Amino acid sequence: MEREDQAAFRAPELPEDVAATDLDKEVRAELLSLSRDTADRVARHLVAAGQIIDEDSELALHHAIAARRLASRIAVVREAVGLAAYAAGDWTTAIAELRTYHRMTGRQTHLAELADCERALGRPERAIDLFRGAEKEALDKAGAIELLIVAAGARGDLGQHDAAVAMLQVRELTADEDADWAARLRYAYADALLAAGRREESREWFARAAATDQDSLTDAAERLLELDGVTIEGDDPDEDDDLDGDENPAEARADHDEDDDESADEDDEDEDGDDLDGAYLDDDESDDDEDDDDEDDDELVDDVADGKAGDDEFVARGAEDVDEDDEVDEDDEPAGGVTQGGKETGA
């Protein structure tokens, strides 16, 4: 069910610094069929949605819906609603709006997002079907790679981890690329290897992904540290549990030292008492030897043990190239010109 309530929906206020001219010229051209005032409001809502989609996806979705209420027959508006819903985790709305956009334009621009929504809704088979049915010539490389990653993830959802690994063994995996999809592809491959129980190979590919991911699009570096068992200093929540949260550590140590001094004084007093008892026993011995067994009650033994702990070391090693001759199920060919097993599968 969509999040929009037709009866109670109120469009969010438009920031004063958001102007219609901030919208891309090609997108604004699609609004020419609207009246000038309506086109201006739609454009401003689209701009506002685009500006905050990463920080506040819910508000971005409301701006996009406000634009749709004014211009539901404009394809770019339906696309904006679909992408905002996807960012907000409203999978059903995202699917409906992105499919509408595809029908209105004849494009297949957002197949990866559609497949990912199907996975999120617990329907990995549909995600795989979208991958299989994609028109290869209609996808650019980035879109094809993203769809491949999602389809491999769907295989993993079904427990087919070896198949997921095989799907991702495409030529682009080892290509010397610095595009955003390169880091994501290597990360997905490393994750699939780990799920398949191939830990050492997984570590190598997380290292490759981290080296490629200059913009921190993934958490490959963190996953690599996790595999190496490295804990970042200061992340241990159990550290200094004996200290009060509001207490100064120096004061706490001073109080601890005072307690030690008091304990030492008490021990000294006990020793003095033992000496006096010994004196009385000596007097009793000179007069009478009947109390010799009482000396055993005054003996005291203390044992102290010391320990040491070592530090973990981070060791990085190089990764090996994937064999490009690995075979993949014929139905799982990568879409959009992505090559598999060293052979072209699309334009």
pLDDT of residue 138: 83
Residue 342 CB: number of other CB atoms within 10 A?
12
Considering the domain architecture, whether residues 123 and 29 belong to the same structural domain is answered as no
Considering the domain architecture, whether residues 53 and 186 belong to the same structural domain is answered as no
User: Taking Cα atoms as reference points, which of 72, 9, 13 lies closest to residue 44?
Assistant: 13
Instruction: Please answer whether residues 48 and 63 qualify as being in contact, where contact means their C-beta atoms are separated by less than 8 angstroms.
Output: yes
Considering the domain architecture, whether residues 222 and 322 belong to the same structural domain is answered as yes
Considering the domain architecture, whether residues 76 and 124 belong to the same structural domain is answered as no
Q: Which residues form the domain of 49?
A: 1-107
Distance, CA of 206 to CA of 23 (rounded, Å): 38
CATH number for the domain including 134?
1.25.40.10
- Which residues of the chain, if any, have pLDDT below 50? 1-2, 4, 237, 239-254, 256, 264, 266, 269-347
Task: Enter the pTM of the model.
Answer: 0.66
Considering the domain architecture, whether residues 342 and 220 belong to the same structural domain is answered as yes
pLDDT of residue 255: 52
Considering the domain architecture, whether residues 30 and 94 belong to the same structural domain is answered as yes
pLDDT of residue 304: 30
Q: Which residue type sits at 316?
A: A
Q: What is the pLDDT of residues 91-146, one digit of tens each?
A: 999 999 999 999 999 999 999 999 999 999 999 999 999 999 998 778 999 999 99
Distance, CA of 87 to CA of 59 (rounded, Å): 11
Q: Which residue type sits at 308?
A: K
Considering the domain architecture, whether residues 100 and 182 belong to the same structural domain is answered as no
